[in-house]
Amino acid sequence: MPEFDVVGVGLNATDTLLIVPHFPAYAGKVPFHEEILSPGGQVASAMVACAHLGLRTKYIGAIGDDERGRIQMESLLGTGINLDHVQHCKNCPNQSAYIIIDRSTGERTVLWRHDDCLRIDPERIAPEQIVSARLLHIDGFDTRAAARAAGIARSHGIPVTADVDTIYQGFDRVLPQVDYLVASSEFPAAWTGVNDPFEALETIQSQYGMKVAAMTLGAHGALAREDGRFYYSPAFVVNCVDTTGAGDVFHGAFCYAVLQGMRMRDALEFSNAMAALNCTAIGARGGLRGLDDIRALIARGERRSHQEVAKRAAFHT
């Protein structure tokens, strides 16, 4: 039996959250209410979500040796995640972001920085680090590291889930190794040049042969294509305080759903619910909840549906 349920290879970040009453107009000025230092990052936060759901989890990423790197490590040490193969980068700042949160809506605007010295070294990713898990989760930033990890996983029959939000150079070498692609709402059109989301997902899936091609739709839920059928799951309506990390938590929940063998419609609904609950508190991992709270929201929560997407998905099923 593999030692871990899921291993994640990819980004972490330490964020400075600035909470403002409303986002200022261009060249405007507003006071901020709070300044909070908060750990986050695509794959790191997804792995924290997985651990929160009871999965045996391992994280591989690059962490700087500054104060933000120390904060990130401390945040991960308390989760039970295996950190044996985190790559510590000397004389290198950790990835940082300044995130402006509009208190009136919970929406955020991100300003980020990632120094080249913080790249994950693909040569330090040994096969045993990947084959010790039942599933691999990656992002698109360090494409050489993602390609190596995904190639190892594919050669050993380990499914690969991927979170990609924009076009990264060399990601065409990664996509053929991906089984479950869950992209941002912008990525499919940017990658394919096809503006229609249904056609764009179908194009990606046809080109790379992945089991599932999906995209998150922010406040409107998520859309996926599997076995020639589209599945749409509307978002949940919650008291949104901060949307930071919602996508990352969605991916952690989706990893759990894949490992549990959930049907696609249920997997999307489960992931939407965990992501929505995370938005009810400040920070990328501030609103993480367990299975009971997720199931309660699924059972009784109000949904927000994108009527056109729902109609078209129903037509294609």
pLDDT in tens, 69-118: 999 999 999 899 999 999 999 999 999 999 999 999 989 899 999 999 99
- Residue 122: CB atoms within 10 A of its CB come to 16
The residue assigned the tokens 């792995």 is 47
How many helices (H) does the chain have, and how many strands (E)? 10, 16
Q: Is residue 11 packed enough to be buried (19+ CB in 10 Å), middle (13-18) or exposed (0-12)?
A: buried
Q: What is the mean pLDDT of residues 199-211?
A: 97
Average confidence (pLDDT) over 6-13: 98
279-315 residues labelled b (16+ CB within 10 A) or e (exposed) = bbebbbbbbbbeeeebeebbeebebeebeebbebbee
Q: Quick count: other Cβ atoms within 10 Å of Cβ 246?
A: 25
What fold is seen in the domain 4-315? UDP-N-acetylmuramoyl-L-alanine:D-glutamate ligase (3.40.1190)
Burial class from Cβ neighbours inside 10 Å (0-12, 13-18, 19+) for residue 27 reads: exposed
8: confidence class by pLDDT, cuts 50, 70, 90: very high
Looking at the chain, the whole-number percentage of residues with pLDDT higher than 70 is 100
Least reliable range by pLDDT among 33-42, 51-60, 144-153, 308-317: 308-317
The pLDDT, as a whole number, for residue 229 is: 96
Q: Rounded CA gap, 86 and 63, in Å? A: 7
The pLDDT of 179-200, averaged and rounded, is: 97
State which H helix or E strand residue 293 sits in.
Answer: helix 291-300
Handedness of CA 108, 269, 293, 13 (dihedral sign): negative
Instruction: State how far the Cα of 80 lies from the Cα of 133, in Å rounded to an integer.
Output: 15
pLDDT in the model for residue 316: 72
22 burial (CB, 10 Å; 0-12 / 13-18 / 19+) is exposed
User: What's the token pair of residue 313?
Assistant: 């998905």
d(CA 10, CA 260): 23
- Token digits of residue 176: 């053929």
pLDDT at site 35:
94
For residues 136-152, give the mean pLDDT: 97
pLDDT tens-digit series, residues 153-180 = 999 999 999 999 999 999 999 999 999 9
pLDDT of residue 317: 61
End-to-end CA distance of the chain: 37
CA dihedral 317, 187, 272, 249 (to 10 degrees): 150
Say which residue the tokens 């006071």 belong to. 31
**Per-residue pLDDT, 1:** 83
Residue type at position 25: A
pTM: 0.95
In whole angstroms, give the CA distance from residue 10 to residue 193. 26
Q: What is the pLDDT of residues 248-271, one digit of tens each?
A: 999 999 999 999 999 999 999 999
Query: Where do the structural domains in the chain lie, given as residue ranges?
Result: 4-315
295 vs 274: CA distance, rounded Å = 9
